[in-house]
Amino acid sequence: MAKARVVNIVGARPNLMKMAPIMWEMKKDTSLIEPILVHTGQHYDEKLSDIFFRQLDIPPPDFYLNAGSADHARQTARIMICLEQLFKKLQPDVVLVVGDVNSTLAAALVAAKMNIPIAHVEAGLRSFDRTMPEEINRVVTDSLARYLFVTEASGVENLRAEGVRTFLNDAEPVENVSYDLFDDVEDSTDAGLLKRFGAFVGNVMIDTLLAFKDRSEKQAEIDVPQRDYALLTLHRPGNVDCPKTLQRITQALARVASEIPVIFPCHPRTRKRLEQLNMTGSYRIADKRSFLPLIDNCITLLEPLGYLEFLKLMSHARLVLTDSGGIQEETTILSVPCLTLRDDTERPITLTEGTNTLVGTDSQTIVSQVKTTLKRRTGKFLRPVLWDGRAAERIVRILEFVACRTELLTKPIGERL
Would you tell me which residues interact with ligand UD1 (CB under 6 A)?
12-14, 42-45, 48, 69, 100-102, 133-134, 235, 267-269, 272
Closest separation between CB of residue 68 and ligand UD1, Å?
Answer: 8
Any catalytic annotation for residue 235? yes
User: Smallest distance, Å, CB 89 to ligand UD1?
Assistant: 25
- Residue 409 beta carbon to ligand UD1: minimum distance, rounded to whole angstroms: 28
Residue whose CB is less far from ligand UD1, 267 or 347:
267
Task: Work out how close the CB of 260 gets to ligand UD1 at its nearest, in angstroms, rounded to a whole number.
Answer: 25
Q: Name which of 81 and 224 has its Cβ closer to ligand UD1.
A: 81
Nearer to ligand UD1, 17 or 181 (CB): 17
Closest by CA to 374, choosing from 361, 357, 386, is 357
Using the minimum distance from each CB to ligand UD1, give the nearer residue, 100 or 393. Answer: 100
Cβ at position 236, least distance to ligand UD1 in Å = 7
d(CA 191, CA 210): 36
- 262-265/230-232 β-pairing: parallel
Task: Select 17 or 396, whichever has its Cβ closest to ligand UD1.
Answer: 17
CB of 75 to ligand UD1, least distance (A): 6
The catalytic residue among 39, 43, 120, 235 is 235
Q: Is the Cβ of residue 69 or residue 378 nearer to ligand UD1 in the bound state?
A: 69
Helix, strand, or coil (residue 115):
coil
Single-letter amino acid, residue 174? V
Q: Which residues are catalytic?
A: 235
